[in-house]
Amino acid sequence: MHQFSVESVQAVAKDVRSVFASADSTLLEAARLMVNFISATTQADVGPAQTQKTLKAVSAGIDRMIECRAELIRAHQTMTLLKDDSNLAVVDFGCWFGRKTDTQPTLVPVAA
């Protein structure tokens, strides 16, 4: 059984919340960028062929951000499992995933 201090796990929990807030904020900004780019180029009557490469690049960036967010979710799940196998198993730090007695998070294998 792992022996964690309450303070160290509270710091990790705070960082997890911060990382997801940052990731979601970045995704929101990227979505706004896409919307504003489409709006600006439409108003300027820029042809679709001229904007396609840019739209595709922004979309690919957003897709990568979403993939990164999924990896962070998997990391958070494994952190929760580590905490659940520790001296702090019964302590709730505000994680989104349940304790062992709750529904276990599903860990999905990812292709390398």
Task: Tell me the CA end-to-end span of the chain in Å, nearest whole number.
Answer: 30
Mind spelling out the 3-state secondary structure of 85-99? Answer: CECCCCCCCCCCCCC
Residue for token digits 């390398």?
Answer: 112
C-alpha torsion 84→85→91→93, nearest 10? -50
Per residue in 81-109, pLDDT (tens digit) is: 898 899 988 877 876 665 444 444 454 45
- The pTM score is 0.75
Calculate mean pLDDT across residues 41-67.
97
- In 3D, which of 80, 82, 78, 104 has the Cα closest to residue 92? 80
